[in-house]
Structure formats: C-alpha cells, structure tokens
C-alpha cells in the first residue's frame, strides 16, 4: 500500500517522543544554570570558598530561618545586632529554638562580623 494512513500518526508520535526527550534535557541544563547562578550571587560577597568563605557568603546557612535578607523569618531579624561576641556565641552554641549552626570558630567570627555590619 502506497499511502499508508497510519504513517502520519507514527511521525507525530516520533516527534512527540523527541520533544519530551529534548525538554527533559533542557530541564537538566536549566537546573545546573540555576545552581550556578546561586553560586555567583553568593560569591559577590567577596572571598571564594577556597580562600576561606566570607561572612556574606556563609550566611547562606542562616537564610532558611532568618529570611533571604536576614530581616527575619521563623527566626528574628538579624539587622542591628552589633555584639559580635553574642552573635558568635549564638551561631556556635545555639539559643532557644535556634540550633548550633557553625562549628568552625573562624567561620563563626566571619559571620558575626558580617551580621554586626547590617543596619
Ligand atoms: C533552624 C533555624 C535557624 C537557623 C538555621 C539559624 N537561626 Fe538564628 N535563630 C533562630 C531562632 C528561632 C532564633 C531565636 C532564638 C531565641 O532567642 O529563642 C534565632 C536567634 C538568632 C540570634 C539571636 C538574636 C538575638 O537578638 O539575640 C542570632 C544572632 C542568630 N540567630 C544568628 C544566626 C546566624 C548568623 C545564623 C547562620 C549562621 C543563624 N542564626 C541560623 C533560628 C535559626
């Protein structure tokens, strides 16, 4: 039979499968891009992880509870706290509902100094 009526359907099916495959590949690519974008933003804070991360970068560990701009979420607003020793202590030992977040003293110091500059 010359013009098999089923051929167009097969072509459409093949196209559909190709499209699904292409879109899932696209999705994976975008995910990597998004993950990368996040890193770039974090690195704007200055030091890179290899150099010993800066406070602005390390506070990514805090935003889950204190909000993306650290103005408060489930945890309180961190702006206007100027006591570096207090922040360092809370970060390393926890306080109330907040668990200890950082064990490394140099990191805690960097975070505390950064937080103390937020107005
Ligand atoms: C699991 C959630 C959570 C994470 C993660 C977290 N915090 Fe907290 N934080 C809280 C809560 C809740 C409080 C209030 C605790 C209290 O005093 O009862 C708090 C309190 C604080 C305080 C004390 C504020 C004050 O006025 O005494 C500081 C400083 C602080 N957090 C800094 C940080 C920093 C810096 C980080 C990241 C390194 C961080 N927190 C990560 C939940 C969190």
**47 C-beta closer than 6 A to ligand 1:** no
pLDDT tier at 45, thresholds 50, 70, 90: very low
pLDDT tier at 70, thresholds 50, 70, 90: very high
Which numbered atom of ligand 1 lies nearest the CA of 87? 29
CA distance to 42, 64, 80, 104, per residue, from 72 (Å): 19, 10, 12, 24
Task: Give the closest residue (by CA) to ligand 1 atom 41.
Answer: 62
**CA 83 to chain CA mean position, Å:** 27
């Amino acid at each position: 039979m010359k013009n098999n009526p089923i051929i167009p359907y097969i072509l459409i099916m093949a196209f559909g499968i190709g499209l699904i495959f292409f879109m899932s590949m696209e999705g994976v690519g975008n995910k990597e891009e998004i993950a990368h974008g996040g890193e770039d933003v974090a690195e704007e804070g200055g030091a890179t992880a290899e150099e010993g991360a800066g406070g602005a970068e390390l506070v990514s560990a805090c935003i889950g509870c204190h909000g993306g701009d650290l103005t408060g979420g489930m945890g309180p607003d961190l702006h206007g706290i100027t006591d570096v020793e207090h922040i360092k202590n809370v970060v390393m030992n926890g306080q109330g509902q907040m668990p200890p977040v950082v064990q490394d003293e140099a990191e805690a110091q960097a975070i505390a100094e950064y937080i103390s500059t937020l107005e």
